[in-house]
Structures are given as C-alpha cells and as structure tokens.
Homo-oligomer: A and B are copies of this chain.
Amino acid sequence: MSLSNIEIAQSARMLPIGEVAAGLGIPADSLEPYGRFKGKVSLPYLASLEDRPQGKLVLMTALSPTPAGEGKTTTTVGLGDALTRIGEKAMICLREPALGPVFGMKGGAAGGGYAQVVPMEDINLHFTGDFAAIEAATNLLAAMIDNHINHGNALGIDARRITWRRVLDVNDRSLRDVVIGLGGAGNGYPRESGFDIVVASEVMAIFCLAVSIADLRERLGDIVVGYTRSRMPVRARDLDAHGAMTAVLRNALAPNLVQTLENTPAFVHGGPFANIAHGCSSVIATGAALRLADYVVTEAGFGADLGAEKFVDILCRTTGLRPSAAVIVATVRALKYHGGVDVPDLPTENVAALEHGLPNLRRHLRTVRDTWNIPAVVAINHRAEDTDAEIAAVIAAVEAAGATAIVAKHYAEGGTGAEDLAREVVRLCTARSERADGELRFTYADSDTLWDKMKAIATRIYHATDIIASTKVRDQIHRLQDEGYGAYPVCVAKTQYSFSTDPKLRGAPAHHVVDIREVRLAAGARFIVMICGDIMTMPGLPAKPAANTITVDDEGTIRGLF
C-alpha cells in the first residue's frame, strides 16, 4: 500500500536546520532556529550578501488550474532536488501555506508524494508565525481606524468610505459581511465591514514586496485605509500606525529556511493571494536565495496568465529580479479537463480530449516565451494512470510549438524522477546567458495609462478582444490616474480557471471581453487591483471539512493531515 503524504513526510530524514544553513555558508549566529528543523535567516546577514553574484532564477508556473490538480509546488520541490542530484547548488522558494484552507478541503500546500518540504505538519500549521504577525498588523490598523473615529475623528474619516478590512487565517464565510460597533456608545459607531483571509491582506502583499525593514515601514505608512468626506485619502501614516505594524512584523520578515525530503534547502516565506495580490513568495527570500545558490526555483500562483504575469509585471518590474528560464507544469489529467472531460472520467485514456485541451498549454507557453521572452520547458507532472499515447501527444504538441516537454516523476520517485527536467532547465539557463537578445519583456510599459495596462494584459495574455467597465469604474480609474498612481502596475483579480473571466470557459477561449467590475488602490503594495468577475477573499468550509479528520495522538503526532 502506498504511503500518504504525511506518512512520507514523517519518515523523512531531516538534517538539523543548522546543518542545512551551514551547507549554504550561513554562519550559525545568523540563523534564528525555530525548533530543530526550521529557522529564520537574519536580515543583517542577508544584507551583507548584496555584492555577491546572483544565481539563476527559474520560474515555476502552470497551465490554467483545474480541479484535477497540477502539482506546481510538487514540481518545484522535485526540480530543486533534481538540480541538487545533478550537482548544482540549488534552492527553492515557496509560498507559506495558509492555515485556514488546511482545515477546509483536503490537500497540502507543501508538495506531495516524494517531493515535499518538511516538516510538513509545522509548515502547514502556522509554521513560524508569519501569517499570525501579518494578521495582527492588519487588525491593529483596523482597530486604530475605529478607535480614531470613536475618540473624535480628528482626521475626518468618512466611516462609509473605509476600505480597510480585518483578516483571519480561517475559512469563515460568516465573517465576509458583518456589522461592527454595535452595543451602544461604549463600543463606537456601528458600520458595515468584513473579514478577508490573511493572504488577501495588503499587508501580505507589502510583506512580500518589501526589500528591508525601512522599506516595509515606508510601504505600511503608505497604505490608504479610506477617505475623508472630501474624498482625500487617509493613510496608515496619518494614524501613526505604521511603526507599530512594523514592530509586529519585524521578526517575521526574516525568511524561513526549511528543507525538502532530500535535504535541498528551501525558503518558504510569505504567501499573497494570486488574484487580489501578486501571488509570489517574498522578494527578500528570493533575493537571498539568489546570493546563496546557483539555481533558485520559485513558484508563482495559479496559471501563467495570473501568477507568472504578476511575477513579471509587478515583481520583476519593481525589484529588478530576472528569471533565466521558466517551467510550465502540465498534467495529462488537466489537459483532458481543459479538453472538456469531467472529473470522474479523467483517469480514462482520452487522447482526443487531451488534444482538445492542448491550446490552453500552448497559449501559456507562447505568453512565457514570446510575450515575455523567457526560455521555457513544459514539465509533464506524471501520474501512474497516464498512458504512453497521451504523453506522446503532449510531447508532440509542445515540440510542434518549438519547445520541449519532459516527463517528470518526482511525485513517485523524488528528485531522481526529475533529472531530465533539471538538465533541460540548466541547458535553457546557460543558453539564455549566452544570447544577446535575452532581455525580459514586460506586457506593458510603466508609462502606459492604467487603462492601457489593463487592456494590454487582457488582449495579450488573456486573448480577450477588449476590456469594458461601467462609468463609475472608468471614473475611478481616471481619478487614480489623475492622482498620480498611473505609474503603478496593474494587479488583476480574476478567476484562475480560465483565460476569460468565466471559470467555466476551459481551454483557450477567444472572442471574450473582460469586464472590470471594481478597482482598488493598494498604495503600500504599489499596484492597482482591477477586479474582473467574482473574487472570493474569504473562503468557506465545505460540508465535511478536513478539520473533522485531523487530530493529534497521545504521543503528540499529527494524524489525518493530507
């Protein structure tokens, strides 16, 4: 009988985290251990590495997600282990899992099978407390807003125009829309508000984009929490909240070092949503990894249209980080799903359906290679039921598009199963550095208007024919442009399941139009969120939540977690 993810993880032969750090040349006094297998690498030490040459950055992305699962995290781990196996000094960078979803649907966020980061229970169960710190900072600011109003509202905040919401790291639909401040004069002024999940907080996005404590403090101060009656923005700085928020986040900002099952070092740090935010682990972790290793594999959320687009147009644009290559993860199952097969029928061979789904993969591949000019390889994340005919069809299609598709069996075999993929990644990175035309290209220019930026993303990446918006939304966009936010990049919140804004349009839909329903200023994260379609920022629990089967035995061992 095959082992569950947690059983594999619990039988891992982990190195003491000090040894993992020492392997990277990190001095003992620059590692803050959190238990024996987790640690935070000190920021002053990381700052001292600034002059070192940077390793090569490999972006892990995927086709449009499906209910079948693609295994981007698993492939990141497998590739990291395979790079190590073929003799490269490699690290991986992953997002931290949120606690809330762990108790909802079953499914880990620390990889799977023989490609996991460990200790997986700790990583999934509030880890080193970073998300708790982000939650506390977010809610402190919220409390200071209502407290300011309660004590006389000297800033003249319009209680109807407060945009700042509280957050919790729990899937709790009943907190999406609430009325607070009830119960009489002692409890302040009643108003409508709501809670998001922690990963949707602008503090999370800021945390992951900040390059230092000073930058973090500055960005937190820039947060716009709402408006006065005369529509002037009110910032966290106006409330003198940003210093205390920084104090809450200080320890969290140092990146978390853990390891894979095969002892490849991994930074697991930060985890912004890939819709309402930019969906990549912290810039501090990625930047640090590039000074500590020769190859750094980092994962962006959802498909290439969302996570990778933001990685390129937000993160790379504002930080100067540049990927040398990208891996696009696909599965035979996901391709069949995009070809129209329903979930129960996915295990059955169906080459025709698979070929029908291939345009989704081809479009993402074209985006990565042609639009952004990033050398890319397709990783076929292998499952036992995949047939030779199906795999051959994928390989042929990718080759026809001028790229390579490689079967990777890290889930079942660990790093050894992804060595071919690792070799191709090294080849791409090396070829890239020898090319003259190796510059990353963005989807749009800084100087484009906000409207044109959104239009460029919609037409070039989503293959939409146009973008539309109500007069109210158009006015908002023009106002932001006039107020000086026109230079910010755009962060699109839309469904991850389709290139379009309709989650049911699988494959590679064309002739669709993107409707901008809402615009939000993220002045601390320094991007403009354009919400296209229904976006859920607070998940709910299912009828039978995973929490029902998770427990701890008398010896203290976690049971039933994935």
Interfacial residues, chain A to chain B (CB-CB below 8 A):
29, 32-36, 40, 43-44, 99, 103, 121-122, 125-126, 128-129, 132-133, 135-136, 139-140, 142-144, 146-147, 150-152, 166, 168-183, 186-189, 192, 194, 212-214, 217, 240-244, 246-248, 250-251, 540-543, 545-556, 558-561
Contacts and interface: CB of A to CB of B under 8 A. Distances in A.
Contacts of A547: 140, 144, 240-241, 243-244
Contacts of A174: 143, 146, 150, 180-181, 187-189
Given A126-B248, A147-B173, A552 B217 contact: yes
A168 B135 CA distance: 10
Nearest to A239: B548
A284 to B, nearest CB: 13
Contacts of A150: 173-174, 540
B188 A173 contact: yes
Contact of A143 (B171, B242, B552): B171
B143 A541 contact: yes
Q: How many copies of this kind of chain does the complex include?
A: 2
A213 B555 CA distance: 8
Contact of A550 (B40, B177, B247): B247
B139 A168 contact: yes
9 closest A-B pairs by CB: A243-B551, A177-B183, A132-B132, A244-B547, A129-B129, A143-B172, A240-B548, A177-B182, A174-B181
A543 to B, nearest CB: 4
Nearest to A28: B36
13 contacts: A99-B136, A122-B251, A129-B132, A174-B181, A177-B187, A178-B178, A182-B192, A183-B194, A213-B552, A240-B548, A243-B559, A244-B551, A250-B558
Contacts of A550: 243-244, 247
Which residue of A142, A171, A176, A192 has the most chain B CB atoms within 10 A of its CB atom?
A176
Contacts of A99: 136, 248
Contacts of A168: 139, 166, 168
A213 B35 contact: no
A420 to B, nearest CB: 38
A217 B132 CA distance: 23
A551 B143 contact: no
A182 B194 CA distance: 9
Given A136-B170, A147-B545, A125 B178 contact: no
Nearest to A35: B32
Contacts of A166: 168, 175
Which residue of A140, A142, A169, A250 has the most chain B CB atoms within 10 A of its CB atom?
A140
Given A139-B170, A173-B146, A188-B173, A556 B243 contact: no
Contacts of A34: 32-35
